[in-house]
């Protein structure tokens, strides 16, 4: 299985009624043929499974992690506190294919919806 680079862009919400291509995430993860993150392949590639959160002109970089209980989250290297992780809502069940929508609980407990705008193999 190869690793993929997935780009998520902010979908419409109150703050951004048209959505925003300048607010979102790019992350690397193993995506299986059904479009799901593959936990077994992730285990052997943890250091390569990185995330970049871009928000306007600001940026944070970290890792894709698996929390106790199986939830997927983004952990940022500079923050170093598990309370600052951003958890994907049901990422284990969702697919990551062009046009799909996913929800992320950001570190301030805000739930935001993002649209998958790119999925490309990098291996």
Q: Per-residue pLDDT tens for 5-53?
A: 999 999 999 989 999 999 999 999 999 999 999 999 999 999 999 999 9
Task: Please state the domain count of the chain.
Answer: 1
Instruction: Supply the pTM of this predicted model.
Output: 0.91
Length of the chain: 123
Phi-psi region of 44 (alpha: psi -120 to 50; beta: other; left: phi over 0): alpha
75 beta partners: 63
Expressed as residue numbers, the domain containing 44 is 3-121
């Amino acid at each position: 299985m190869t690793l993929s680079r997935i780009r998520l862009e902010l979908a419409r919400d109150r703050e951004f009624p048209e959505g925003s291509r300048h607010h979102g995430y790019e992350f690397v993860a193993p995506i299986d043929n059904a479009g799901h993150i593959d936990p077994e392949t992730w285990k052997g590639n943890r250091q390569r499974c990185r995330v970049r959160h871009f928000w306007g002109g600001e940026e944070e970089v970290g890792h894709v992690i698996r929390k106790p209980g199986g939830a997927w989250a983004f952990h940022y290297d500079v923050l170093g506190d598990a309370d600052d992780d951003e958890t994907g809502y049901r990422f284990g069940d969702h697919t990551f294919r062009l046009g799909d929508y996913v929800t992320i609980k950001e570190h301030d407990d805000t739930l935001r919806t993002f649209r998958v705008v790119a999925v490309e193999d990098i291996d």
